[in-house]
Copies of this chain bind each other. A is one copy, B any other.
């Protein structure tokens, strides 16, 4: 299954007095990785909003195994899965230090498709389902 790779250099403001990345910032990394994965899939998030769709976060979970430090170069690996009903998409994440094997952090974030005008969750439009399925079955991005 297609996996999307994204690199991030840990910033000073992201490290806390323990000298490690503050736990909440992984959600920022996940957002950027997801945004770039969708762009790669031909679905820039901005165009979805312009088309009347929001994709709010429904749930998430993160597991912290080893700390990342200031100036570390991280690799965030993203895979996505569309729910059977096509109402939700889940992004699964793995974070490693680039070139190393140890998993530092793993997690997932699930988003739903939401109609801006109708103000309610919907099934993803066909065009989006197709593009996501193509991306999922595709080669490594």
Chain A residues close to B by CB (< 8 Å)? 9, 11-13, 15-20, 22-24, 27-28, 31-32, 35, 44-46, 49, 54, 56-64, 67, 70-71
Contacts and interface: CB of A to CB of B under 8 A. Distances in A.
Given A17-B12, A28-B11, A46-B71, A60 B57 contact: no
Number of copies: 4
Q: Which of A12, A57, A63 has the most CB of B within 10 A?
A: A12
Nearest to A109: B23
B58 A64 contact: yes
Contacts of A54: 18
Interface of A, helix, strand, loop or mixed by DSSP: mixed
A70 B12 contact: no
A12 B35 contact: yes
Contact of A13 (B28, B45, B46, B58): B28
Contacts of A60: 23, 61-62
Contacts of A46: 70-71
- Between A22, A28, A46, A63, the greatest number of chain B beta carbons within 10 A of the residue's beta carbon is seen for A22
B59 A63 contact: yes
A24 B27 contact: yes
Contacts of A49: 17
A108 to B, nearest CB: 10
